Amino acid sequence: MKLATKRERLLLLHHGLQGQWKPLKRAFDVDEDLNIIFKMSPSELAASLQLSPAFASSLHSFILRTSPTELEEAYAKEAIEAITLFDDLYPFLLKHIYDPPWVLYVKGTPSLLNAQRPTLAVVGSRKPSSDCLPSLETVLPPLVKAGYCIVSGLAFGADRMAHDITLAHHGVTFAVLGGGFSHLYPKEHKPLAEAITAQGLLISEYPPHTTVQRWHFPARNRIVSGLSNGVLIAEAKEKSGTLITARVAMEQNRDVFVLPGSVHHAKARGSNRLIQDGAIPVIEAEDIELHCHLSG
């Protein structure tokens, strides 16, 4: 099967591989132009991309019977745009992390991806203490007013608070999903997702049909931090996925900010430890603005 462009070949493989990052990396290792892959038999695909025989057979069948034009027409019907790593619209900051997504699927206003504005990720507990919301309501509105884009993961708790506060103050917010658009998670946040689409962007590295898997969420968080100049930790226990995001952000050379919590709150113990380890404590919006402007 001859596909006219490298972009088309990438889109087709990415969709057929359900957004899996490593098999696509192996495909590029075989041939950076992705030509040879389309000439392989199912057994050769299984060996080269380290896939199960059944999955390789399914992928082989998919790429033989599907055209990129059909894919993008199907995306367009759902108001989805696919942006590959080789497209001009692909966000600059994200492109330069260690493992950038090969394709971003977006809903909303794609041009916002490369708008000249500072970007702050907000992550934290899904079951925060009563201190979390008033703290975010103190820090985020001045940043939104100053033009910051707020990025989070559409989850319960701190994520939802960050999106809601940004929308309430007529700002731009991005929500990075842990699955495809057809399998929005959590389902309860569908109205929020629709509001974000109208005022910002929904983003996923997974094709629209891809169901949510537990391992998607740590992968998702590298995008949340990768899109951003800095990451604000709202609240985190000592053993928390939020701390993983903080570590990834440090590896990506992002500023890590923390809202200090009470020493009596177990839900703030992990985030307070981050301050001991060198994260920047935040008392007011200016604490973030200073560092983001210097680093961004």
Same domain (yes/no): 144, 24: no
φ, ψ dihedrals at 152, nearest 5°: -155, -170
Domain extent, residue 269, equals: 93-295
If DSSP codes are grouped into helix, strand and coil, which group holds residue 294? Answer: helix
Same domain (yes/no): 151, 244: yes
Q: Which are the contacts of 247, defined by CB distance < 8 A and separation ≥ 6?
A: none
pTM score: 0.92
Buried b (16+ CB within 10 A) or exposed e, 96-121: ebeebbbbbbbbbebebbeeeebbbb
**Predicted pLDDT at 295:** 46
Task: Report the domain count for the chain.
Answer: 2
Lowest mean pLDDT among 43-47, 188-192, 218-222: 218-222
Looking at residues 47-53, what average pLDDT do you find? 96
CATH number of the domain residue 108 falls in: 3.40.50.450
Looking at residues 145-166, what average pLDDT do you find? 95
In a domain, residue 167? The reply is yes
Same domain (yes/no): 109, 68: no
Q: Which of 82, 90, 80 is nearest to 112 (CA)?
A: 90
Same domain (yes/no): 109, 230: yes
Q: Is residue 229 predicted with pLDDT exceeding 70?
A: yes
Q: What is the pLDDT of residues 271-280, one digit of tens each?
A: 889 999 889 9
- Provide the 10 A C-beta neighbour count for residue 283: 11
Same domain (yes/no): 103, 64: no
Label residue 127 by pLDDT band (50, 70, 90): confident
Helix or strand run (H / E) with residue 156? none
Amino acid at 65: R
